Structures are given as structure tokens and as C-alpha cells.
A and B are shown apart, each in its own frame.
Chain A
Amino acid sequence: MNLDAAPGIVAVTLVTIATLAIGTWGLRLSRTTSDFFVASRSVRPRLNASAIGGEYLSAASFLGVAGLVLTFGADMLWYPVGWTAGYLVLLVLVAAPLRRSGAYTLPDFAEARLGSRAVRSVCSLLVVAVGWLYLLPQFQGAGITLRSTLGAPTWVGPVIVGLVVLANVTSGGMRSITFVQAFQYWLKLTALLVPGTVLVAVWADDSTPFASGSDGWSVPIAAGGGEGLYVTYSLIIATFLGTMGLPHVVVRFYTNPDGRAARRTTLVVLALLGVFYLLPPLYGALGRVYAPELAGTRRSDALVLELPRIMLDGPVGELLTGLVTAGAFAAFLSTSSGLSIAVAGVLSQDVTGRPWAGRRLGGVSAFRLGAVVAVTVPCVVALAVPNLGVARAVGLAFAMAASTFCPLLLLGIWWRRLTPTGAIAGLLAGGVGCSVAIVWTLVVSRPDGWVDTLMGQPAAWSFPLAITTMVVVSLLTAARIPAHTGRFLVRLHTPEVLDLDRG
């Protein structure tokens, strides 16, 4: 450790204290199991939208995008665009019905819609899989950040993030997390906006030209002709459709008071994300001018953290470094908290809340135990398996969500003839397809040719595979359409003001 680490240490300490303080404040408000899971469904659209934004903007958004843009150029802009457009797709197809379904989690939705314990179990398994796939890079990113800004050993980041998340989640549940997440959206925005404004002013003052458009840096398609076009479209499908299937995103919709509020919340989220995502590419572009030597190296992920010091000397540079470090740390904390809540919710309902050896834990105890498992497992894996690739793992989590939960939600909400058998078949087809692609990608070190391309970015084939399987098997098992389907669709689609029998 040296003096350079001072702003980073101050920033991380302040964010941790603020997070715990707001979490504790929430503790006094949170009394019942319903508070823990869904904040008793009383969160207003603007607060909820800030919380969704805070939760959603992960390390990949805060650090990863700028590094990717610096290295690869304009085709990486599809990541932030897809992560925002995903909310538009979610808004028009899923938001209000999902809230009106009245379920806590994705497995709850599946069970209520299809009346099948088996579908529920498959969904629970997938929520945990997608959640851990997404948590892993958060913990690993925290390790990289603290090493690059504080010179701390790599294990420090995951342990600190894990402990803070655990303290918050187990003490206050969803209610306190809502305030924490909302605070962290605004913290993250400020942490990029203020330094970004200063850095752009410095750049304008230097009268340095724009970065050159050479090496395909301003081409918005991946390199490699037809294969590049496939990769870009597959990424678009994964992000546009995967967002609705992320467990920590979905669980947030249950905290809205009604379906109308769910839509309005989503609209505010679109605005908040749009504002935020203007900033990371700016850092990438400035990095192209001032720090081209970072491009293509492992340090490119740290571009946002290092740029203030590279462009500015003295106390201003240090101050801005502290600010971006605070934002990055907030990104790890908020996304990890949201994912842990989602995974803990599922675990507490389907694992820790079940009777074991004749004894059964109460709702809140089961949730706390679920949270410990939800955080500990990926934290230990993150310590044991260093460096899986932050952006890659997040991308695969999106592809997995797009090929499993997305078809289930789409057909469950809009198609009367979905059967439990069809749902399970589709979930397995998408889930197994994606898993094969993930393992393939991990095993093949130097991708080459069409097969590796298809496996490296599976969403463009695994989503159609899953949804087709779901439709075909449902049609073949038409006798097993749940009897309550009609009544459930009434609940999903009719406005709450109507006095109707919703089952």
C-alpha cells in the first residue's frame, strides 16, 4: 500500500458505511416476511425505478463497457444499447402482467401459471444457476478493482463485498435494499458524470483531435464479415430478450403497487439507463486519445478508474479517482445485493424453508439462511477460480436467461395453450443448449470457424430452439392445458380497478 491508495480507501470505506447505514435505517421499517421479499409491495415508481437502475448497473456497465469500447470500438456499444433496449422489450411484453400475476419470484410465477411443482423445481434450479453465473463476475470484478486501486490482494474484494451484502440482505431484506439500491444509482451516475465532465473539459482545453476512426473502431459490427454479423445479432438477441429473464430484475417488479405502476416504473428505468449509458462510452473514447496503451490489455477494465489520474495531476485527479472508485464499488455492492436477494428468495422457499428432519424454519430465518448460502457459494468459487472473464460471464448469463425464462414468460403471458410438459421441455432445451455452449467456450481456448462462433454467442440459436420446443411439445400435450388458464390470464391482463374474479 502507498499514498496512491488513499482516495480509493476513503471512497470504499464511505460507500460501505453509507450502504450499511441506509440498510440499517431500512431495518426499522422492515418487519414481516413480505417486507423482506417484496417490500410489502408499496414502493413508488420513481423510487423503485432508481432502485432498479441501481441494481442493474453492474461492474460490467460501470467498468466493462469503457474498457471494451477502448479495445474493440463501436461494436461494443451494442452492450449498453442492448441492456437498455431489454427494458423496452420487458416493458411492452412482460412488465404489467408480471406484476399482476402476484407472485414473488420466477418459480412462483411458473407454478401459479402452470399449476405444476415440477415446472417450479426446474425454474428454481435455473434461477440459482443464472444468479450465480452473474454473481461470480461481480465478486471477481471487486477483487480486480481493489487490487488496481488499493494494491490489495485479490481475495479482499470478494470478501468485503460478500460481507457487506450479507449484512444488508440478512438484516433488512428487500425494503432496506430498495433504499440502498436507489441511493447507489445516483451515486453511480454522479461518480461517472462529474469526473466525465471535468475530463471532457480537459480534453477540449487540450484541443486534441478525436480519436482516429481507423482499425474499424467506428464500425458497429464485430469483425469477421458474416461471422461478425452473426455475433452482433446474437448479442442483440441475448441482451434484448435476456433482461426480462434475469432473476434480480424480475423480483423487483413485484414491489410495485399495481400493473400500471409497473409500466411507469419501467419507463422511468429506460430514462435513467439512457442517461447513465451516455457516459461509459465517453470514457472509452477519451481513453483512446489519452491511454491507448491500455487497449487490449487486462488493465483495459480499469480504464474508468485510471483515466482521471492519467489526464489530471494533483489533488483534483486524486479526488476524481476517489469518486469513480466509489461508483465502481457501489456497482459491485448493488448488483450483488439484488442477485443475492433473488437467489436467497428462491432458496428460502424451495430449500431452506422446507421441513428438514421434522423441523421447519420460519419465513425470515429461512430467508437469512438462504442469503448466507446465496452469497457464500459464488464468493468461495470466485476465490477458488480466479479470472473467468468479467464481461464474458455476464454475457453468458444474459444468453442463458434469454433461452430459458424469456420463452417461459412470453408464452406464459400471451399463449393459452402452454402446458407444464411443454414448459419443462423448452426450459431444458434452452438451458442445456446454453450450458453446452458455455462449456464448449471454456474448453476451446482459441475460437476459430463457424462452430466456435455459434458456441461463443449462443442466444441466436438457443432462444429459437427453446421457444419452438415449448410450442411444439405444448401442442402435442394439449390435453394437459391447466384448467385455470383462462382465469389466470384474466388476472394477468385486466386492470386492477375492475372487480373481477382473479382466481
Chain B
Amino acid sequence: MSDQGPAPERVRVSGPPRRRTPTARTADIDDETRLGGMYMGSLLREQLRLALGILTVLGLTVGLLPLAFHLVPELSGTEVLGVPLAWVLLGVLVYPWLLVLGWVYVRRAERNEHDFAELVTEVER
């Protein structure tokens, strides 16, 4: 058995070599490619749509009160538990309502950002 040459080189068996190095989509945003622009555009649109939605709700509730009291003067005479309606709405209830709207906004805005971060850090293979 002395005629055997040197032992063959060990080869590690693994999967096929990757064709491309992994790139995150953040590179598209950094390079301001069209794709990157689309990612940014979608984030901006989502956030703006959310903001305008919240403001529309604000406008349709709190914002319509003066008009409602102007068109239906009897509302001013209405009382809730002995307190005039205007006082109940503007003196008390409006504050928790603003807080609720703010809370909904913060939750959704953070979720939008989270989704965006997941989308652009997902590595393409």
C-alpha cells in the first residue's frame, strides 16, 4: 500500500453557491432608485392617510359642534343631569375623546413604521 499518493483534499459538502450577495432593500432607498422611491412613497401615503383619517374624525365630531348648535338652537337649552349639553360636551367629554384619537393614532403609526421596517430589511435571496 505504499504506492498510494497523498490523501485527496477534504471538501466540505454544502449547498450550491449563492449567485448574489444578500442585499437589503434599504440600499434601494439609499441609492434613491425607483424601487426605493416606491417604498418611501408607500410609507408617506400610509402615514398621511392615517393622519387625515384621524383629523376627519376630529372634524366630523368636535368640528361640527358649532354648526350643530347654530342650526339647532334648541340644543343649547338641552340639559344632561341638570348640566347644559354644551358644558358636558366641551367642558368634559371632549378631552377623553381627544386622548382616544391620539392613542389610536400612535398605535397605528407605530404599526405602519414597524411594517415598513420589516419590508425594507427583509433580505432578498
B91 touches A281 (CB 8 A): yes
B87 touches A229 (CB 8 A): no
A497 touches B86 (CB 8 A): no
Given A77-B91, A274-B95, the answer on whether A218 and B84 have CB atoms closer than 8 Å is yes
Chain B residues lying within 8 Å of A313, measured Cβ to Cβ, are none
A92 touches B50 (CB 8 A): yes
Given A489-B40, A489-B44, the answer on whether A81 and B109 have CB atoms closer than 8 Å is no
Distance between Cα atoms of A254 and B109 in the complex (Å): 19
A74 touches B30 (CB 8 A): no
Known: A88-B54, A486-B40, A487-B32. 12 other contacts (CB 8 A): A77-B87, A77-B91, A88-B102, A89-B55, A213-B76, A220-B89, A228-B70, A277-B95, A278-B95, A281-B87, A281-B91, A498-B117
Q: By the criterion of a CB under 8 Å from any partner CB, how many residues of chain A are at the interface?
A: 52
A220 touches B50 (CB 8 A): no
Task: Kindly identify which residue among B37, B85, B87, B101 contacts A486, using a CB–CB cutoff of 8 Å.
Answer: B37
Given A263-B110, A497-B117, the answer on whether A84 and B69 have CB atoms closer than 8 Å is no
A220 touches B110 (CB 8 A): no
Interface flags, B64-94, vs A, CB<8A=1, else 0: 0111011001001101001111110111101
A77 touches B90 (CB 8 A): yes
Nearest opposing residue in chain A for B52, CB measure: A92
Distance between Cα atoms of A87 and B106 in the complex (Å): 13
Nearest opposing residue in chain A for B109, CB measure: A263
A74 touches B99 (CB 8 A): no
**Residue B121 lies at the interface, judged by CB distance under 8 Å to chain A:** yes
Chain B residues lying within 8 Å of A216, measured Cβ to Cβ, are 76
Given A213-B76, A501-B30, the answer on whether A84 and B86 have CB atoms closer than 8 Å is no
**Residue A459 lies at the interface, judged by CB distance under 8 Å to chain B:** no
Distance between Cα atoms of A500 and B92 in the complex (Å): 44
Give me 19 A-to-B residue pairs in the complex whose CB atoms sit less than 8 angstroms apart, sorted by A's number. Answer: A74-B90, A84-B94, A92-B51, A93-B55, A210-B82, A213-B79, A218-B76, A219-B86, A220-B66, A220-B76, A221-B69, A229-B66, A270-B102, A274-B96, A278-B91, A278-B95, A486-B32, A487-B32, A500-B26
CB distance from B39 to the nearest CB of A (A): 9
Nearest opposing residue in chain A for B50, CB measure: A92
Nearest opposing residue in chain A for B37, CB measure: A486
